[in-house]
Amino acid sequence: MIDEELTKRAKMVSEAIDELLPVVHPGGLYEASRHLVDAGGKRLRPSMLLMAAEAVGGDPSALAPAAVSIELVHNFTLIHDDIMDNAALRRGRPSVHTLWGTSGAILAGDTLYSKAFQILGITPSEPSKLLASMDVLSKTCTAICEGQWLDIEFEDRSRVSEAEYMEMIEKKTGVLYGASASMGAILAGASNEVADALDLFGRLTGMGFQIQDDVLDLTAPENVLGKRRGGDIMEGKKTLIMIHAMDHGVAVEAFGKKDATPQEIEKALSALEKSGSIEYARNRAVELVENGKRALDILPQTPIKALLLGLADYMVRRKY
C-alpha cells in the first residue's frame, strides 16, 4: 500500500516539476539543474509534506508547489554533496559535476536553491502561512549546511562520539524531513502545536532514514545502490556503524582506503556484521522511527495518519 501511495504522490510532484521548473534559456543551466531531479528518486520528502497537509485537513493537490520546493532543496544538497565527495555516480547516473564541471554543478545547485523559494512563494496559501513556511525552510537550509560542515569536520578526526554523529545526521538529513512535515501542516492551517509535533515526527524518522542509508551502503547490492558498495568505508565516513565498531575495538583495515579492492571491502563487511555493529545501527534506526511515530499521537486516527505511520516504517524497512 505505501509503495502505491508514494508512487501516486511522486507522479504528482514530477508533473509539478515539469510545469514549475521548465528548461529555459540558458538551456545548459536548466538541463544541469534537472539532471538529478529527472533521475527519479522516491520523492519521500515532498510526499511527506503532502501527507502531513492531508492529515490535518488540507488539500494536498493545492500544495504541489511547496512539495516541489522541498524536492529542489533536496537535490540542491545532493549536487553539492557530490562535488564535496567527488562522487562520480548518483542514482546510477553520472553526477552533475562530472558532466558539467564543478563550476556548472555549483551554479545548477544554486539555481535549485533559489528556485525552491520562488516556487514556494506561489503556493496558494495565506501570506502569514507562506512567511512561516519560508522561515522554516530557510532555517532548515542553514541547518543542513551546519550538518554538512560537521560531516566534513569528522573526516579529520580519529574518533567521533555517537552523540556527535546524531547531531550531524539530525542537521544534515533529519531537519529537511521535519521541515517537510511541518510545512505541510503550517500551509494547511494546523496549530503550532500540531506543526511542532509533525516536525519532530519528520526529524526522527529522517534520522532513522539516514542510519538505514548507512546500513544499505554496506548491505545492498551494487545494481540496487547505483554505486559501488562500501563507499562509506573507503571514504572513511564515521557512520554509526563505524563508531560502534571503533568503540568495540573492531579492526576494519579497508576504512579510509580509497583504492580498497572488492575483496577488502567484503572482509570489512564481514567484520562489521560479526561485531554486531551493523545490527546495532539497524536497531537504533528503528528506535528513532518508533519515537517519531509517537509524535503523531496528537492526530486523530484516520487513514492518512495510518499512511504517515506506514511511511515512517518504510524509512527503515526499505531495501534501497
pLDDT tens for each residue of 266-292: 999 999 999 999 999 999 999 999 999
Residue identified by cell 562509506 is: 232
- Predicted local distance difference test score (pLDDT) of residue 226: 63
Handedness of CA 118, 120, 126, 130 (dihedral sign): negative
Residues spanned by the domain of 198 = 2-317
- Predicted local distance difference test score (pLDDT) of residue 303: 95
Look at 97-111, 115-129, 262-276, 286-300 and tell me which has the smallest mean pLDDT.
Answer: 262-276
- Predicted local distance difference test score (pLDDT) of residue 117: 98
Strand partners, 90: 93
Look at 11-15, 170-174, 227-231, 294-298 and tell me which has the smallest mean pLDDT.
Answer: 227-231
Q: In which band, very low, low, confident or very high, does the pLDDT at 136 lie, cut at 50, 70 and 90?
A: very high
**Closest C-alpha among 203, 170, 216, 172 to residue 318:** 216
More confidently predicted of 4 and 228: 4
Mean pLDDT of the chain: 94
Count of domains observed in the chain? 1
The CATH number of whichever domain residue 107 belongs to comes to: 1.10.600.10
Say yes or no to pLDDT of 225 above 70.
no
